[in-house]
């Protein structure tokens, strides 16, 4: 088979891919520099009072909870060149682990040499996905966070699963949507432990800096425009896409509410199909796609869940058309092209072709949810998943 011949060279392909990335990477890693530079301000109660002023577009603030700043302190203790190297290596390891873990679930307990080589080959390919490249170029936390959340959601032990998601939500609020997975799959203990883990991070944040914690949780929380321009094409949430189409920030007005209701209905059908089939990976991906859609800000580099999604489409659903469309969307770097074409990151109205293309990720996510809820999982795949699913995945939601 052609695949077997290609897989023989998987380690070499990965090495070449890594070398090409190293030669073309943007080592500025501006977001990492924000973490590295501003995190120590949590010790002086000035975490949200001092911005990074060196960017051309706007000064960059620290946008995460105080607990996240405390977690970044060891990285801030390193020289800048060492911090960049450590973060890049850690992120690349997390990319490989994310691919490997998704394929391990899809292998139905048959994770042999072929599947291991597939993991190497897909790591080489997904390295060039736009969300991955943006995460690495910006020095973002996304790969580390997604790998941790993925591990937690797949964990069999309720305590580990819940605490993992809770601590991740304490670092950056978006992983909190993962609690929906615990509720749908009736993992009540994991849901409770996730709340406990989150509250623990809040308490630790207050212990480190009560002033900054009060400021974040009671003054800054919910200010989406603080982290950047809502209408810029790099924001691939429903709010961003709708705002660009209508020409103004829709905030939580009726267009956004209608879009959220549609997304919720599609998510409900997709989750019902996944749970009935015992399809753990589908349930995890469905919840994360819903979170990306309804979040006020979903930068294109937040869409790393496309990686397990494409693998699921190829090996579980065998939907090569949709997998191919997703691959083209993330490999063509269409978001970067649109960023260069938009009049300004602050100017929301734009020509309709740009507004239409700016729907690329949310539109594909809605199509994916619709197809996931309306089609059946192949019998041989579903039966294999039942043996490796976390507790509760085979129970239908009520």
Give the tens place of pLDDT for each residue, 222-278.
776 667 789 999 999 999 999 999 999 999 999 999 999 999 999 999 999 999 999
Residue 170: pLDDT band (50, 70, 90) is very high
Question: Which residues fall within 8 angstroms of residue 347, CB to CB, at 6 or more apart?
Answer: 231
Other C-beta atoms closer than 10 Å to the C-beta of 33 total 19
Prediction pTM value: 0.93
51-85 per-position pLDDT tens digit: 887 665 678 889 999 999 999 999 999 999 999 99
Other C-beta atoms closer than 10 Å to the C-beta of 278 total 21
CA distance 314 to 38: 42
Coil, strand, or helix at residue 356?
Answer: helix
Coil, strand, or helix at residue 333?
Answer: coil
Q: Which residues of 288-314 are buried (b: 16+ CB within 10 A; e: fewer)?
A: bbbbbbbbbbbbbbbbbbbbbbbbbbb
Chain-wide mean pLDDT for the chain?
Answer: 91
Q: Are 73 and 40 in contact (CB under 8 A)?
A: yes
Domain parsing of the chain, residue ranges: 1-221, 228-398
Question: Which residues fall within 8 angstroms of residue 76, CB to CB, at 6 or more apart?
Answer: 35, 36, 37, 39, 40, 83
């Amino acid at each position: 088979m052609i695949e077997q011949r290609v897989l023989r060279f998987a380690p070499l392909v990965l090495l070449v891919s890594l070398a090409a990335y190293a030669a073309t990477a943007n080592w500025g890693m501006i977001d990492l520099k924000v973490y590295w530079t501003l995190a120590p301000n949590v010790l002086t109660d000035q975490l949200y009072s001092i911005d990074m002023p060196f960017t051309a577009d706007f000064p960059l603030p620290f946008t995460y909870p105080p607990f996240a700043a405390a977690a970044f302190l060891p990285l801030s203790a390193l020289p800048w060149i060492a911090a960049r190297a450590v973060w890049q290596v850690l992120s690349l390891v997390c990319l490989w682990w994310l691919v490997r873990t998704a394929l391990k679930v899809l292998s139905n307990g048959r994770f042999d040499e072929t599947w291991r080589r597939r993991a190497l080959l897909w790591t080489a390919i997904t390295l060039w996905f736009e969300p991955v490249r943006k995460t690495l170029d910006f020095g973002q936390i996304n790969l580390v966070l997604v790998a941790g959340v993925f591990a937690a959601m797949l964990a069999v032990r309720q305590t580990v699963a819940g605490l993992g998601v809770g601590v991740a939500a304490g670092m950056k609020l978006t992983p909190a949507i993962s609690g929906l997975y615990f509720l749908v799959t009736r993992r009540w203990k994991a849901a409770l432990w996730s709340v406990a883990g989150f509250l623990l991070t809040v308490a630790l944040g207050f212990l480190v800096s009560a002033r900054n914690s009060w400021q974040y949780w009671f003054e800054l929380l919910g200010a989406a425009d603080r982290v950047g321009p809502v209408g810029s094409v790099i924001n691939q949430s429903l709010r961003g896409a709708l705002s660009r189409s209508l020409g103004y920030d829709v905030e939580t007005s009726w267009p956004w509410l209608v879009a959220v209701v549609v997304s919720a209905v599609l998510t409900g059908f997709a989750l019902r199909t996944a749970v009935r089939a015992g399809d753990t990976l589908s349930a995890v991906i469905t919840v994360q796609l819903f979170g990306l859609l309804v979040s006020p800000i979903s930068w294109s580099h937040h869409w790393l869940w496309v990686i397990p999604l494409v693998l699921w489409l190829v090996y579980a659903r065998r939907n090569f058309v949709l997998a191919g469309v997703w691959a083209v969307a993330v490999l063509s770097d269409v978001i970067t092209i649109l960023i260069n074409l938009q009049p300004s990151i602050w100017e929301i109205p734009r020509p309709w072709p740009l507004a239409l293309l700016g729907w690329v990720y949310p539109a594909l996510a809605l199509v994916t949810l619709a197809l996931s809820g309306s089609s059946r999982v192949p019998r041989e795949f579903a039966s294999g998943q039942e043996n490796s699913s976390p507790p509760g995945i085979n129970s239908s939601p009520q």
